[in-house]
Structure 1
């Protein structure tokens, strides 16, 4: 499937301003800076999305397109969402937060927006 693979962060734009809008403490902001690997397993409409952090920590979110699920964000915040897919993009929309993830060539491009502040992360496919 299009999203399946292991990706390493290649570039980021506007991380600090974005996480300040989220309201994360400095320790969680630094943890996010050290984030490097995303692993995605896609089986049709079913996804497992894993973010690996240094020190063996990870966040795993499992979801099915069009069905409500609970997700965890950096900092341990949990929220309910129904993930959608539109035009090949995975979309997460909750009040005050919007994220799109798409494959562009061999890269995973993720754009998150909270209260008008956007953050872009581009990761290259490793496997």
Structure 2
């Protein structure tokens, strides 16, 4: 239940490089560069709903059960199937173009997305 709550981005590293690698247009990257992304997580046992609120009231919400293949969606609207696993207190999953890990470190939500050698690290505080 450590992930449950509402989180706001404090810092992000590698944002521009990661977005460019995913093919996100420059104007969209610029709008999101300093945006304080809000992440809302609800958890009931192994069932989790993970919602991210982006600029212009855009949101992406994925519901999944740990260890069970689930239907997911990217920010760009691409649908895919993935299994979210719990490994040593970390949630891990593979998106179509990158691997994503979420963990709680020092009371903060730390999300790391890796695509080859490009890494996006986002740290959020609990609201």
1:8–1:36: 8 Å Cα contact kept in structure 2?
A: yes
2:6–2:41: 8 Å Cα contact kept in structure 1?
A: yes
Worse overlay, 54-63 or 112-121: 54-63
Gaps of 5+ in 2: none
Q: Please, what TM-score do these two structures have when normalized by structure 2?
A: 0.90
Q: For 2:112 and 2:98, locate their aligned partners in 1 and report how far apart those are by CA, in whole Å.
A: 11
Query: Superposed, which structure 2 residues align to 1:99-114 within 5 Å?
Result: 99-114=100-115
**How far 1:123 sits from its partner (Å)?**
0.1
1:21–1:115: 8 Å Cα contact kept in structure 2?
A: no
Number of residues of Structure 1 aligned to a counterpart in Structure 2: 126
Gaps of 5+ in 1: none
2:80–2:96: 8 Å Cα contact kept in structure 1?
A: no
Q: Please, what TM-score do these two structures have when normalized by structure 1?
A: 0.90
**How far 1:58 sits from its partner (Å)?**
1.0
**How far 1:30 sits from its partner (Å)?**
3.7
Q: Please, what is the CA RMSD of the aligned residues? A: 1.6
1:120 corresponding residue in structure 2: 121
